[in-house]
C-alpha cells in the first residue's frame, strides 16, 4: 500500500474514533438531561422529607412496615413538585413533551416506593443497602411511567446509557449527601 493511501486510511480511522467519542459524549449528556427530573425527584426527599410516613406507619401482612419510616408524604410531594418543575424547565429549553417531567418524577417516586416495599419484604430495615435495587428502582419506575409521553424521543442507546450512568451518579450523590450530614449512611 503506497504511503499516501496509508495516511488517508489512518486519517479516516482517526475521524471515526473521534466521531464515536463525540457521539458517546453526546449520548451521556442526552441521558443526563433526559433523566434529570427523575434524579431531582429522587434526591429532594432527602433534603425536604420527614414527617408523616407515606404508609401511615401501617404494617403489611408479614408484620413489617409497608414502606418504612424513611418514605414520607412530605418527601414524596416535594420530590414530585421539584421533579415536575425541572421537567417543565426542560420542556421549555429542550422541547420535551409537556407532561414529561410529571410522569418521569411520579414514576421515579413510585419506583422508589416499590424498591422500599421489596426491601421490607426481604427483611431489610429502612436505610439498609440492597445493591442494584437501591440504585435503579427509581429509574425503572421513571422510564416505565414516562413511556406514554417520552416514547418517541427514547432510544435503546439512551436507555442503556441511563442505566449505566445512574448507579455511579447515585452512589456519588448519596456519598456527598452523607458527608454533608443529610443522610445517615453513604448509600
pTM: 0.85
Return mean pLDDT, the chain: 89
Residues 87/102, Cβ–Cβ less than 8 Å: yes
b/e map 11-31, b = 16+ CB within 10 Å: eeeeeeeeeeeeeeeebeebb
The pLDDT, as a whole number, for residue 8 is 47
* CA-to-CA separations, 74 to 44, 49, 89, 129, 155, in angstroms, rounded: 10, 5, 22, 23, 34
Q: Is the dihedral of CA 5, 7, 9, 15 positive or negative?
A: negative
How confident is the model over 23-79, as pLDDT tens digits?
A: 999 999 999 999 999 999 999 999 998 999 999 999 999 999 999 999 999 999 999
The pLDDT, as a whole number, for residue 153 is 75
How confident is the model over 116-149, as pLDDT tens digits?
A: 999 999 999 988 999 999 999 999 999 999 999 9
Amino acid at each position: 500500500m503506497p504511503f499516501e493511501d496509508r495516511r488517508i486510511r489512518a486519517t479516516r480511522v482517526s475521524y471515526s474514533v473521534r466521531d464515536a467519542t463525540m457521539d458517546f459524549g453526546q449520548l451521556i449528556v442526552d441521558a443526563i438531561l433526559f433523566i434529570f427530573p427523575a434524579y431531582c425527584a429522587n434526591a429532594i426527599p432527602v433534603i425536604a422529607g420527614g414527617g408523616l410516613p407515606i404508609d401511615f406507619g401501617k404494617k403489611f401482612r408479614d408484620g413489617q412496615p409497608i414502606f418504612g419510616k424513611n418514605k414520607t408524604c412530605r418527601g414524596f410531594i416535594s420530590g414530585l413538585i421539584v421533579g415536575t418543575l425541572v421537567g417543565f424547565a426542560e420542556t421549555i429549553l429542550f422541547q420535551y413533551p409537556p407532561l414529561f417531567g410529571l410522569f418521569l418524577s411520579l414514576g421515579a417516586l413510585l419506583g422508589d416506593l416499590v424498591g422500599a416495599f421489596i426491601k421490607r419484604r426481604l427483611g431489610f430495615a429502612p436505610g439498609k443497602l440492597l445493591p442494584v435495587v437501591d440504585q435503579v428502582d427509581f429509574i425503572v419506575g421513571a422510564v416505565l411511567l414516562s413511556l406514554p409521553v417520552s416514547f418517541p424521543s427514547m432510544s435503546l442507546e439512551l436507555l442503556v446509557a441511563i442505566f449505566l450512568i445512574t448507579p455511579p451518579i447515585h452512589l456519588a450523590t448519596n456519598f456527598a449527601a452523607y458527608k454533608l450530614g443529610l443522610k445517615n449512611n453513604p448509600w
